[in-house]
């Protein structure tokens, strides 16, 4: 018997579900997509392992602040990342201040839920980023962070593809203080979500302490005592040279590290690209299987926004000339084949 009528019925059903805004069943990911291939991830020693126990490296893009550039968060832009860029992961950068979460918690919670569903339908991993920036002390927003992560963990605990990043770039606070924040949020997430990987911000704008005269040793001496946690490191190649590079190199031998943000330009997210130094970082991250996420997938005017202004509005992501130089460079680094170990 021909399978066609069954397929028709199934796709009609899928259409109805999609139109009704229903979530696809958790666990159904497009064949061959990063989540289909790797499943639920966990921390194994200093590495990130897939469900078959193989260490893997994920690569992807961060959004700009979710309160800005909403046209860059369309289905088409997610398709571009999944299919054309070969991204494994999308980081949802939900600013806390600057017109972000605090201005309308219900709205931003809804936006994040919607985008998680969108990434999941494409078989991508997704980072829920509590993008605290100023003030640098995460305790200022503690109650809000608790409300947010409680809602996130309750809703997404069954998804195998979600990461929680609990503090983007803390600064001006000691590791002891930061550690106590992390412990509270980790405990709260774990009440609902027993095993998703939780990403912990480090001192000095997630520099492992380097930009505040410290380094990874303070974390090695007093790590957060929890399973499936990793420490974040951010760098901007034109600003952050040897000291940062060496800290990442040392730290990744002692701690599970995830680069949840990097730029090929200066820390302002703008200015000239330093592709030479970026290349050295990428080489190190490949060797050590350190996952990375580039800042940012938007058409903001700054050099770190990978798309040319106007691209998201026009939807012509694949057109010649749609990418800035950072975009051309990063996409080429992301778009490589057979990067995951066989099942």
Q: Is 165 in the site for ligand IDC (CB under 6 A)?
A: no
Q: Is 269 in the site for ligand IDC (CB under 6 A)?
A: yes
Only one of the segments 13-21, 47-55, 215-223, 261-269 lies at the binding site for ligand IDC (rule: CB under 6 A); that segment is 261-269
Whether 261 is a known active-site residue: answer yes
Q: Is 261 in the site for ligand IDC (CB under 6 A)?
A: yes
d(CA 172, CA 132): 13
d(CA 245, CA 250): 9
Only one of the segments 31-39, 145-153, 191-199, 262-270 lies at the binding site for ligand IDC (rule: CB under 6 A); that segment is 262-270
Contact criterion met (CB below 8 Å) for 171 and 208:
no
Please state the closest distance from residue 234 (CB atom) to ligand IDC, in A. 6
Query: Which tokens belong to 337?
Result: 């084949």
Identify the residue among 164, 233, 236, 281 touching ligand IDC (CB under 6 A).
236
Identify the residue among 169, 216, 274, 299 touching ligand IDC (CB under 6 A).
169
d(CA 322, CA 328): 9
d(CA 265, CA 295): 10
Please state the closest distance from residue 134 (CB atom) to ligand IDC, in A. 8
Q: Is 171 in the site for ligand IDC (CB under 6 A)?
A: no
Q: DSSP readout, 142-179?
A: HHHHHHHHHHHHHHHTT-TTEEEE--S---SS-HHHHH
CA angle, residues 216, 222, 228, in degrees to nearest 5: 85
Q: Is 168 in the site for ligand IDC (CB under 6 A)?
A: yes
Q: Is 98 in the site for ligand IDC (CB under 6 A)?
A: yes
Q: Is 295 in the site for ligand IDC (CB under 6 A)?
A: yes
Please state the closest distance from residue 269 (CB atom) to ligand IDC, in A. 3
Identify the residue among 121, 234, 277, 324 touching ligand IDC (CB under 6 A).
234
Contact criterion met (CB below 8 Å) for 190 and 226:
yes
The distance from CA 314 to its chain's CA centroid, rounded to whole angstroms, is: 25
Choice between 56 and 167, CB closer to ligand IDC: 167
DSSP 232: E
290 Cβ contact list (under 8 Å, min separation 6): 57, 248, 252, 257, 258, 259, 284
User: At 164, is the secondary structure helix, strand, or coil?
Assistant: strand
Element (DSSP H or E) covering residue 305? none
Choice between 56 and 115, CB closer to ligand IDC: 115
Q: Is 302 in the site for ligand IDC (CB under 6 A)?
A: yes
**Comparing C-alpha atoms, which of 64, 48, 44 is closest to residue 258?**
48
Q: Is 253 in the site for ligand IDC (CB under 6 A)?
A: no
Identify the residue among 300, 312, 322, 323 touching ligand IDC (CB under 6 A).
300
The CA distances from residue 49 to 43, 58, 95, 123, in Å, are: 6, 10, 29, 17
Whether 243 is a known active-site residue: answer no
Q: Is 267 in the site for ligand IDC (CB under 6 A)?
A: yes
- Catalytically annotated residues: 169, 261
Residues in contact with ligand IDC by CB under 6 A are 98, 133, 168-169, 205, 234, 236, 261, 267-269, 295, 300, 302
């Amino acid at each position: 018997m021909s399978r066609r009528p069954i397929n028709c019925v199934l796709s009609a059903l899928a259409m109805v579900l999609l139109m009704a805004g229903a979530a696809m069943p958790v666990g159904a990911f497009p064949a061959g997509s990063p989540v289909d291939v790797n499943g639920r991830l966990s921390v194994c020693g200093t590495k990130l392992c897939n469900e078959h126990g193989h260490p893997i490296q994920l690569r992807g893009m961060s959004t700009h602040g979710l309160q800005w550039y909403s046209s860059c968060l369309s289905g088409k832009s997610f398709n571009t990342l999944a299919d054309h860029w070969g991204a494994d992961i999308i980081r949802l950068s939900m600013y806390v201040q600057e017109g972000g979460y605090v201005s309308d918690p219900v709205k931003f919670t809804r936006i994040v839920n919607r985008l998680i569903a969108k990434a999941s339908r494409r078989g991508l991993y997704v980072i829920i980023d509590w993008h605290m920036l100023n003030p640098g002390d995460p305790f200022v927003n503690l109650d809000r962070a608790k409300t947010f992560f409680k809602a996130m963990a309750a809703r997404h605990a069954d998804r195998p593809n979600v990461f929680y990043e609990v503090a983007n770039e803390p600064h001006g606070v000691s590791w002891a203080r930061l550690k106590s924040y992390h412990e509270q949020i980790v405990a709260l997430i774990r009440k609902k979500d027993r095993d998703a990987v939780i990403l912990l911000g480090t001192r000095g704008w997630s520099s492992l302490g380097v930009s505040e005269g410290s380094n990874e040793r303070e974390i090695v001496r007093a790590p957060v005592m929890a399973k499936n946690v990793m420490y974040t490191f951010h760098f901007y190649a034109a600003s952050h040279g040897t000291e940062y590079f060496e800290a990442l190199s040392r730290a990744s031998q002692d701690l599970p590290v995830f680069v949840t943000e990097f730029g090929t330009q200066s820390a302002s997210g703008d200015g000239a690209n330093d592709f030479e130094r970026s290349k050295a970082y990428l080489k190190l991250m490949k060797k050590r299987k350190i996952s990375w996420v580039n800042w940012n997938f938007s058409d903001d005017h700054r050099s770190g926004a990978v798309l040319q202004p106007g691209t998201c509005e026009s939807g012509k992501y694949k057109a010649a000339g749609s990418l800035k130089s950072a975009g051309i460079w990063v996409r080429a680094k992301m778009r490589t084949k057979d990067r995951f170990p066989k099942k």
